[in-house]
Structure 1
Amino acid sequence: MNDYTVIEFCNKETDEVVEQATKEVLNEPLSLLKERMDDFLYVESPRFDALRMDCATIECDDVFETSTVLFGLRVPLAEKDRLDAYCDKTLKDVTPRYGFLYSDEERLFDVNVTCEALPHVKEGATIGETLEAFIDWLTRYFERVDV
């Protein structure tokens, strides 16, 4: 589904918008992010509300040189064990796979997931395919009763 309402490249250091991207960027390979190491791709979608998040960013990690989805997940701290178990069970075994920290101030988890760890993300995937795999993965988190 191509319902992203905001798609922007932003500078990692300043968070300043450096380019208003078009939906065409979703057809670009995920490897594009390695060519733009100083930037991250910021996206918003109406679907994110149901997933208890405002936005997502995708970037190439400076240290590991892996593509990573970062997002704030608005669930209570009591969800920590469930979230950890879900990530362990559903993400592919790559290094790094995921990480998260709870922010008491913002009352959400700051989560990062390596794109290549997401189910259904294959080598050569586009940015759009990766975002859809991420949304599908997070949707399944909320559909699961027991992890």
Structure 2
Amino acid sequence: MELNLNDVTIERCLKDTEEVIAKEEVSFLNTPLNYLNQHMEEFIFIESEAFHGMKTESLSFEVDDVFKTYMVLFGFQVQKKYASTIKAYLEEHLHGENIYASYIFSGEDGLWDVNLPLNNVEGFTEEMTFNEAISLIYNFAAKLVHTIEQQ
């Protein structure tokens, strides 16, 4: 799916302090995802209204320091009662070994803090661009939203 990301905000940030290193133009989304392997101290924060269809406002991409796995983090705006649906969906749709997904409901924010290993999402490659990774995770999460809405 091609998303309209003209309204996008992109920030390169330091993992340790969350300090913004630089704000990037939309053209940064054409950068290969493996940029993160070369800049392990950074995460990429991307915010867009286009993400509302997957029940979030923003995505953060990073490489996990310990497992060297590409991760996407986001706040998933669905009710706590869908815990078993989320768990079942992730178990069914994340593939491979060493799956380090986590999802924790934050009562304070009223949303799920989700950390997904991109490496375990069907269609992932390290050579894909941020734009392609966004489309991949958008489709993955939109199908989860559809599964929840079917209940």
Q: TM-score, normalised by structure 1?
A: 0.91
- 1:62-81 residue pairs with structure 2 within 5 A? 62-81=65-84
Moved more, 128-137 or 16-25: 16-25
Residue 8 of structure 1 contacts residue 43 of structure 1 at CA under 8 Å; is this kept in 2? yes
TM-superposed CA distance for 1:138, in Å, is: 0.6
For 2:12, the equivalent position in structure 1 comes to 9
For 1:100, the equivalent position in structure 2 comes to 103
Residue 34 of structure 2 contacts residue 126 of structure 2 at CA under 8 Å; is this kept in 1? no
SS of the residue corresponding to residue 71 of structure 1 reads strand
For structure 1, the residue ranges without an aligned partner over 5 or more in a row are: none
* Ranges of 4+ aligned residues in structure 1 off by more than 4 Å: none
TM-superposed CA distance for 1:119, in Å, is: 2.1
What is the rounded CA distance, in whole Å, between the counterparts of 1:18 and 1:123 in structure 2?
23
Letter in 1 for 2:118: C
Change in CA separation of 1:94 and 1:7 when aligned onto 2, cut-off 3 Å: farther
Give percent identity, aligned residues only.
28
What is the rounded CA distance, in whole Å, between the counterparts of 1:55 and 1:23 in structure 2?
15
Letter in 2 for 1:131: I
Q: CA RMSD in A?
A: 1.5
For 1:122, the equivalent position in structure 2 comes to 125
- 1:1-147 residue pairs with structure 2 within 5 A? 1-3=3-5, 5-144=8-147, 145=150
The aligned length equals 146
What is the rounded CA distance, in whole Å, between the counterparts of 1:20 and 1:94 in structure 2?
35
Residue 55 of structure 2 contacts residue 145 of structure 2 at CA under 8 Å; is this kept in 1? no
Q: TM-score, normalised by structure 2?
A: 0.89
Residues 43-88 of structure 1: CA distance to partner in whole angstroms, max 9, x if unpaired? 0111222322121100011111111000011111111100010111
